[in-house]
Structure 1
């Protein structure tokens, strides 16, 4: 049973967080009957017990009207009054003191903009909050705390809210039209600029092609490179061969020349000193 209860509570908390925007730490608004039930059944500390039921950290609130009502009940609720004074007091806008039920109804309002979990033991108040969308209710049964399941009205309200979110509002539709016009105008400008650029590029390409054609026409008549002409044979290779007689004469002449050089080299030079010495001896 305990595991099933935890699963049911987690499912309900997930529903309120996903559909109505509840965020951690969860805020819990308590009345005098709930505080008295916690003390009577020794469910302390209250913040840990509520955190275990919701599976997340919590902050516990009460109002000045609830404190005034507990004060008016006498000494039997003095412990509950002291415990309620330790809680955070939520701001209630009414100047005159009201009953605890009316005060809590005013704080919650029609939409529960502050995202409060309401903790109460009053059966009539729990029925009223079942008819208001986005108001989860916590109650105690002996020494256990329970989170009520979301009612069919709350489920229907969540479905309609999701459908409304999926469709555009009139203001969003108008904004989208304005954006479409701006985008279409920008695309038209871009396309015109692109066409002009393409035309300029086409003209430039045509000019370049015409210039290239002209240059080709002019260079057709001219010789683009020097052709190699056929040259004559090598004159050294065309010399006539010398006859054998000529070679012998040349060799003979060469031999006489060699002999003459040798004879010249063999002749000794006579020194004048030898002549003078001979004359002196005579």
Structure 2
């Protein structure tokens, strides 16, 4: 068996052991068709099963499946001898029924006894995929194959993990006894907010003189000061005397003409 396939089978069986309580030696139910295929292809069923399930194996067969091999005649005697080498599993059927129905009844709805099933019957494999936690083995072109986990198996595994993370039933009972039941708080709808009262001007009653605030008074004072300063600057500019114009003397102008 290839290394990649062996690693996948080991991981799959570890999941069955962890989530569904499988343990070695694994109990494997074999049907009549698997015995016939193993004899015709000369496959060592026990050795192959141990390599596929990656552990020790206990091979089992029901009385109804052996009865099917007896009915087919002496030509299937090697398959009968192989089936007799396995451990008998009591199916409690007074009259023999088909092998597929016998194995389905032994498995039940939950696979309580942790069986793996080795079968070549396609209808039986389809029915077993609906039961959570059932490893299914079949032979495909002389290669023994362990089917991947079915949808029912994966869903059951997820539910078990979710329950394991939460409190158990006893813990829930203790919590309910200790902590009183609190009524749910009803959220009230918030009313629309009004404007900020600090930013709203107060209404002045009619017939009253509006009271000036400190800020307005300060603005009036600063305005008066600016006006007074402007008046002082204008008066100073007007009071400043104009510079006198010097007159040129007539004698000096005549001397300048002569020199030229």
Query: Counterparts in 2 of 1:154-165, with a 5 A limit?
Result: 154-165=153-164
Query: What is aligned with 2:48?
Result: 49
Give yes or no for contact 1:26–1:59 (8 Å, CA) kept in 2: yes
Distance 1:77 1:175, change over 3 A: farther
Alignment partners' CA distance in 2, 1:106 and 1:175: 40
Residues 221-273 of structure 1: per-residue CA shift (max 9 Å, x gap): xxxxxxxxxxxxxxxxxxxxxxxxxxxxxxxxxxxxxxxxxxxxxxxxxxxxx
Alignment partners' CA distance in 2, 1:120 and 1:77: 17
Query: Counterparts in 2 of 1:1-282, with a 5 A limit?
Result: 2-44=2-44, 46-175=45-174
Alignment partners' CA distance in 1, 2:174 and 2:139: 50
Q: RMSD between aligned alpha carbons?
A: 1.9
Alignment partners' CA distance in 2, 1:169 and 1:3: 40
Alignment partners' CA distance in 2, 1:24 and 1:176: 39
Which structure 2 segments of 5+ residues have no match?
A: 180-260
How many matched pairs? Answer: 179
Give yes or no for contact 1:42–1:143 (8 Å, CA) kept in 2: no
Where 1:29 maps in the other structure, the secondary structure is strand
Alignment partners' CA distance in 2, 1:28 and 1:21: 15
> Which TM-score applies when normalising by structure 1?
0.60
Which structure 1 segments of 5+ residues have no match?
A: 182-282
Structure with higher Rg: it is 1
Where 2:129 maps in the other structure, the secondary structure is helix
Alignment partners' CA distance in 2, 1:135 and 1:60: 15
Report the CA distance between 1:171 and its aligned residue. Answer: 4.5
Where 1:103 maps in the other structure, the secondary structure is helix
Report the CA distance between 1:172 and its aligned residue. Answer: 4.1
Where 1:132 maps in the other structure, the secondary structure is coil
Report the CA distance between 1:129 and its aligned residue. Answer: 0.9
Alignment partners' CA distance in 2, 1:172 and 1:67: 49
> Which TM-score applies when normalising by structure 2?
0.64
Residues 97-149 of structure 1: per-residue CA shift (max 9 Å, x gap): 21101110011111111111100001111111111101110001232211000
Give yes or no for contact 1:41–1:142 (8 Å, CA) kept in 2: no
Alignment partners' CA distance in 2, 1:121 and 1:106: 17
Which shifted more, 152-161 or 53-62?
152-161
